Amino acid sequence: MTIEECIKQGISQIREKEDAYWIVHRLITDILQIDKAYILTHPEQILTKKQEECFEKSMQKIKQGIPIQYITNKQEFMGSCFYINENVLIPQPDTEILVEEVLQLVNGKETRILDLCCGSGCIGISLKNFLKKATVHLSDISPKAMEVAKKNAILLNTDVQIITSNLFENIQETYDIIVSNPPYIETSTIPTLSQEVQNEPHIALDGGKDGLTFYRKIIQEAPYYLTKNGYLCLEIGFHQKKAVTQLLQKNFENVITKQDLAGNDRVVIAKKKGEKI
């Protein structure tokens, strides 16, 4: 089977998916270890038997709703390629907004940062890669997620400290910035999501009955782990701006909301009360 035949066959198998073309091309480039340009210039190249078998097995997984990122074990985020498996959420472009806002907030200064609920480590590791003077700690409750974060730190040669912790349970220090993309999807909503999303770890998706369980805990406890000029930076669901802002009012001030490229509220930044900007 040629590259061109594989692509046509693959797209026909998953034509109901909006991103079928992208999925199949990404799979081919990963299996053959080639780039997109090679596909265009060598459509007649014949796959080996092993490559063809790998393609067919992978297509079966995709048809079952397994995300392509869990098959290739790769996802690009903030210009770096992260290792991804079924134990962590797949980094999304919307989360890059959170990283970019923290970068602006730090503005190159020496800073201590905690990435809470870090999953793959994409937020904290990206911040450290851009902020060489920063001290960055990553934490998550899942030991399997911590393994992925450690692997990414090694792969990207990033000096971060990794702490297995149920939110702040094992956190011993204070930070200038706490950044988090916690679980925030309502429990009842998860079964209505795409099959691909439902195949991501529910522990990293489920934000409780109203989606705010982790925001309540983080916002309540964060002041004890922030310096006097500290900031809490959170990713939120598109409809959670009002609720999260209200939760912040007691212990935080100067609340700012940032939108993603689609115009949805995506990031909330708040300053610990007691200090003037």
Three-state SS annotation for 210-265: CCCHHHHHHHHHHHHHEEEEEEEEEECCCCCHHHHHHHHCCCEEEEEEEECCCCCE
* Other CB atoms within 10 Å distance of the CB of residue 209: 10
CATH class of the region 79-272:
alpha beta
CA distances for 140 relative to 137, 163, 180, 226, angstroms: 10, 7, 10, 18
Give me the residue label for tokens 């991501």.
200
Running along the chain, 277 residues long, what does each successive block of 10 average in pLDDT?
93 92 95 93 94 96 95 97 97 96 92 98 98 96 97 98 97 97 96 93 95 97 95 96 96 95 95 71
Segment 166-216, tens digit of pLDDT = 999 999 999 999 999 999 999 999 999 999 999 999 999 999 999 999 999
pLDDT of residue 277: 42
Q: Round to the nearest angstrom and report the end-to-end CA distance of the chain.
A: 64
